[in-house]
Chains A and B, each alone.
Chain A
Amino acid sequence: MNDMSWTPLGPPQPPPVPPPMPVAFAGNRKDFFRLVARGAGLELVTLGFYRFWLTTDIRRHLWSHTQIDGDAPEYTGRGKELLIGFLVALAILMPIYVGYFLIGIEAEHLKAFASLPLVAFFYLFGQFAIYRARRYRLTRTVWRGVRFWMSGSGWLYALKASLWGLLVVFTLGLALPWREAALERYKMRHSYYGDLQGSFEGRGWDFFKRGWWLWLLMPLALSSYVFAPFAYAAFKAIEWRWWLSGIRFGEVRLESTLPRSALVGLYWKVIGWIVLLFAVFAAYLLLCIFLAASIDGSSIESFFRTEAFAKSIPLIVLLGIGYLAFALAMNVVMRVYLMRDLWLRVLSSTIVHNIEAAANVTARGDLANALGEGFADGLDVGGF
């Protein structure tokens, strides 16, 4: 066997394209589009079961094309884990649903609609799922051969989140910044990179100072379809910036310079696409009706007058296929803009200070299971 050896040059050679910023995203948009478009097709073929693998592939793409101090993190989760988490969550949720139903009957027996507060229980459960899902994602994130991990109690978090949620409701949303600050403090305090403990220094008051005017504008945003995307985009931008700027790992400090207007274009693009897709769907609808009428051999008018269109099986099948294609196209648009492009914009506004403090971190922490992701999937809460 021939031996081969490669030795490093004296001074470390800089990588071919040194990233100018500590955090950058080097992913190709076309690649991501191909990934989600193919994923949407597979979701259609598998009636949705492919979502576990698609989610995994999206995360792998986003993680591995992000560069922090020149090194890309790695997502080590796998679709199978998400599937197993989902199945286990299902096995746990099923008896809970039955119990919920029986308790509901007893409560309703005393007073009609007395069981509505039980919905609160599912809110609690959803918050638990959010915490545990974050834990799964964090323990599958590896940077420089060391993984992130998380301790803390999902139930304690759920309780905190629910109590703060009540306060937010009672204060008509004014307490939201303080709720987010408190919850982030809990989450970050229990997050680690190796032996480096995280913390959160964002204060509710800072968030409030940046966003109070949005609170005042809320009635306007809720009543006007044109204004609402602007308000929402501004809120999200303020939230991202405040959140990122509060994150600490040991002495490492993040800072975000995301401008308030950074996400407005993104949301309007999504709206534009949705309108366009709607138009295409409507045109397809018309085409289908003409087609079905011509198969039927009747004129459009008589087709409608005799109400034969409601009984035409080919029409119903065509409409079903059209609807599915429409829904999947929407999914692709959402994923490209609201996951990839959002990720890119938020990342490229992020600066890492004092990264040298994370230069010699010892690996610690165990993997968490995907049960939380399963609950999040089953209860329809979740994020990236």
Chain B
Amino acid sequence: MESDSSQTNSAATPAPGGVFFDGLSNRRRLVALRLSDTLEIRESGELLGRWPFADIRRADSPSGLLRLSCLTAPALARLEIRDAQLIAALVARCEALEADLPNRKGVAAIVGWSLAAAVSIVLVVLFGVPLAAERLTPLVPDAFERRLGDVAEAQVKVVFDGKPCSNAAGQAAFAKLVGKLRETAGLDNSVQSGVLATSVPNAFALPGGKVYLFDGLLEKAENPDEIAGVLAHELGHLRHRDSMRELIHNGGTSFLIGLLFGDVTGSGALIFASRSLVTSSYSRDAETNADSFAIETMHKLGRPAKPMGELMFRVTGKEGGKGLSLVSSHPLTEDRLARMDKADAGSRPSGPPLLSSAEWQALKGICGSGRGKV
């Protein structure tokens, strides 16, 4: 009915046709359009194309203009129509006009699949990566781990500007202490250890069996048991190959979280935040295990574990509430101290002191004269 009226219209005053680009050249052709069982496109009588209505698709266009393409025509052939009546008539005939354009259903699919992908990534981060780290760590060859350790050692020495301390008597005392702990802990003699002349109160284990103590921690220590506990804790890390595991775990986590938020290199605030949340909880577990190992080792030697906790408390002070406990890599010092205190309860120290007081004094001075010489 509507088409009838427009037909009579077009007979009286010719209605505007369209502009056609055939997709082979960019020539602008003014064409006449005829809507029969297909859309016929004619330029001064010559048939340029016959587009079946079912194959016609809408293409992006400015407002006030209908731009069409056709599945069975050259991919870039375009027909542009401005006449509102003709647009309405065409829209009514082409059922699949919008089929290729992004629509509500498409967006719903994107949201659905993204959520599925996100859930799967989160599950892999929470369960898959720790499992992979657990299973892969024993497969990493010792030689490779030692290489990693050498690299880390070189960097640590540059960052902290720490020279190894070499006072002979101190060295002997240190070797004795480490030796006792090592044997009790059941580690072989490939363990390398040393004291670095740095005022930062810290100690750490590196992959490939390296344990380093900073002079700063020695200065704060009041008796051999304190240092022994710390060393036992670091030996625990070596025993569990924690550095290697954390490397695999952190690498995998960074990568996956970066994947989620769209930056493979894993920088960016959101990525950093969520990564620290995940990795620090993992590292807290490792620290707790190393503490258990330290407590066990000290008790085997007949010495208390609590002094280690006291030393750490002296270094860090009360930690609770200082920052977000969720993102700290270690358990709170006071919690660790309380745990060691509880573990010691009931067993009185029965073993002999680990170092004589002369040896203890020598250990405390391991860097003093060493530095004097340099």
- Measured between beta carbons, the chain B residues less than 8 angstroms from A63 are 60
Q: How far is the CB of A77 from chain B (nearest CB, A)?
A: 11
Task: Provide the bound-state CA to CA distance between A309 and B278, in Å.
Answer: 21
Contact partner, B17, options A8, A26, A360, A380, Cβ 8 Å: A8
Taking the complex as formed, is B118 at the interface, i.e. its CB lies under 8 A from any CB of chain A? Answer: yes
- Given the interface contacts A8-B16, A8-B32, A16-B64, does A47 sit within 8 Å of B261 by beta carbon? yes
B61 at the interface (CB under 8 A from A): yes
Q: Given A13-B16, A63-B60, are A363 and B25 also a contact pair (CB < 8 Å)?
A: yes
Q: In terms of DSSP, what is the predominant structure of the interface of chain A? A: mixed
A105 close to B320 (CB less than 8 A) = no
B10/A5 in contact, CB under 8 A:
yes
8 Å CB contacts to A: which residues of B60-99? 60-65, 67, 74, 76-78, 80, 82-83, 86, 89
Q: Mark A1-32, 1 if CB is under 8 A from B, else 0.
A: 11111111100110111000000001110000
B30-56 interface bits toward A, Cβ cutoff 8 Å, 1 = contact, 0 = none: 111111110000000000000000000
Cα-based distance from A168 to B91 in the complex (angstroms): 56
Chain A residues near B111 (CB-CB < 8 A): 42, 45-46, 50
In the complex, per-residue mask of B1-41: 1 if CB is within 8 Å of any chain A CB, else 0: 00110110010001111100111111110111111110000
Q: Could you say which of A144-152, A290-298, A344-352 contacts chain B?
A: A144-152
Cα-based distance from A70 to B117 in the complex (angstroms)? 44
CB-CB under 8 A from B15, the residues of chain A are 6-7
Least Cβ distance of A103 to chain B in Å? 12
Docked pose: A9 CA to B13 CA in angstroms: 9
Chain B proximity of A130: nearest CB distance (Å): 16
| Residue A187 lies at the interface, judged by CB distance under 8 Å to chain B | no
Structural contact, B34 and A361, CB atoms closer than 8 A = no
Give complex CA distance A75, B101 in Å. 12
B158 contacts A113, CB within 8 Å? yes
The one of A8, A26, A101 that contacts B31, using a Cβ cutoff of 8 Å: A8
Residues of A within 8 A of B36 (CB): 1, 3
* A132 interface residue per 8 A CB criterion: no
User: Is residue A176 contacting chain B, with contact meaning CB distance below 8 A?
Assistant: no
B345 on interface, CB distance cutoff 8 Å: no
B30 touches A12 (CB 8 A): yes
Are B60 and A74 touching (Cβ within 8 A)? yes
**B262 CB–A CB distance under 8 Å:** yes
> Most chain-A CB neighbours within 10 Å: which of B7, B59, B110, B323?
B110
- B-contact bits for A299-336, CB 8 A (1 contact / 0 none): 00000001110110000100000011001000000000
Per the bound structure, the CA–CA distance linking A74 and B148 in Å amounts to: 53
Complex interface: chain B residues within 8 A of A93 (CB): 264
User: Contacts of A74 on B, CB cut-off 8 Å?
Assistant: 59-61, 67, 78
Tell me how far the C-beta of A182 lies from the nearest C-beta in chain B, rounded to whole angstroms.
Answer: 28
With A47-B114, A72-B61 as known contacts, state yes or no: A310 contacts B324, CB within 8 Å: yes
Docked Cα-Cα span, A115 to B80, in Å, equals: 57
Residue of A76, A142, A143, A327 touching B270 (CB-CB under 8 A): A327
Residues of chain B with a CB closer than 8 A to A159's CB: none
Residues 117 to 132 of chain B near chain A (Cβ within 8 Å): 117-118
* Nearest CB of B to A276, in Å: 20
**Across the interface, do B117 and A49 meet the contact criterion of CB distance under 8 Å?**
yes
Q: Does B134 sit within 8 A of A, measured CB to CB?
A: no
Closest to B81 in A: A6
- CB <8 Å contact, B115 and A46: yes
Q: Which residues of A contact B320 (CB under 8 A)?
A: 307
Q: Is the CB of A144 within 8 A of B110?
A: no
Contact for A145 among B26, B31, B65, B83, CB less than 8 A: B26
Our pick among B26, B59, B118, B155 for the contact of A47 (Cβ within 8 Å) is B118
A79 to B357, CA, bound (A): 73
**A-facing mask of B258-269, CB < 8 A → 1, else 0?**
011111110101
A97 interface residue per 8 A CB criterion: yes
- Give chain A residues whose Cβ lies under 8 Å from the Cβ of B300: none
Task: Using A3-B34, A360-B25 as known contacts, say yes or no to A16 and B82 having CB atoms under 8 A apart.
Answer: yes
Q: How far is the CB of B25 from chain A (nearest CB, A)?
A: 5
Q: Is the CB of A310 within 8 A of B323?
A: yes
Question: Which chain B residues lie closer than 8 Å to A71 at the CB level?
Answer: 28, 80
Min CB gap B231→A, angstroms: 25
A57 at the binding interface (Cβ < 8 Å):
yes
Known contacts A47-B261, A63-B60; is-contact A310 B16 (Cβ 8 Å) = no
- Whether, in the assembled complex, B325 has its beta carbon less than 8 Å from a beta carbon of chain A, the answer is yes
Tell me, in angstroms, the Cα distance from A75 to B157 when the chains sit together: 55
Once A112-B154, A112-B157, A379-B265 are accepted as A-B contacts, the answer to whether A306 and B321 lie under 8 Å apart by CB is yes
Given known contacts A109-B150, A380-B263, A5 and B22 CB-to-CB distance under 8 angstroms: no
Question: With A and B bound together, what is the CA distance between A46 and B107 in angstroms?
Answer: 10
| Interface residue A378 (Cβ < 8 Å from any Cβ of B) | yes
Instruction: Say whether A67 faces chain B, with CB atoms less than 8 Å apart.
Output: yes
B147 interface hit (Cβ, 8 Å): yes
Q: How far is the CB of A38 from chain B (nearest CB, A)?
A: 9
User: Closest residue to A52 on the B side, CB-wise?
Assistant: B110
Please pick, from B26, B151, B267, B326, the residue contacting A146 in the complex, using a CB distance under 8 A: B26
Please state if A57 and B157 are interface contacts (CB–CB under 8 Å): no
Distance between Cα atoms of A79 and B114 in the complex (Å): 13
Contact B16 A49 (CB under 8 A): no
* 20 contacting pairs across A/B (C-beta < 8 A): A5-B33, A8-B30, A26-B63, A45-B115, A49-B117, A75-B60, A101-B251, A105-B148, A108-B151, A112-B155, A112-B157, A112-B158, A144-B27, A145-B78, A194-B25, A311-B321, A311-B325, A316-B324, A327-B270, A378-B265
**Residues on A facing B (Cβ under 8 Å):** 1-9, 12-13, 15-17, 26-28, 42, 45-51, 53, 56-57, 60, 63-65, 67, 71-72, 74-76, 78-79, 86, 90, 93-94, 97, 101, 105-106, 108-109, 111-113, 142-147, 194, 306-308, 310-311, 316, 323-324, 327, 358-363, 377-380
> Closest 8 CB pairs between A and B?
A307-B321, A145-B21, A46-B114, A49-B114, A112-B154, A144-B26, A7-B32, A108-B151
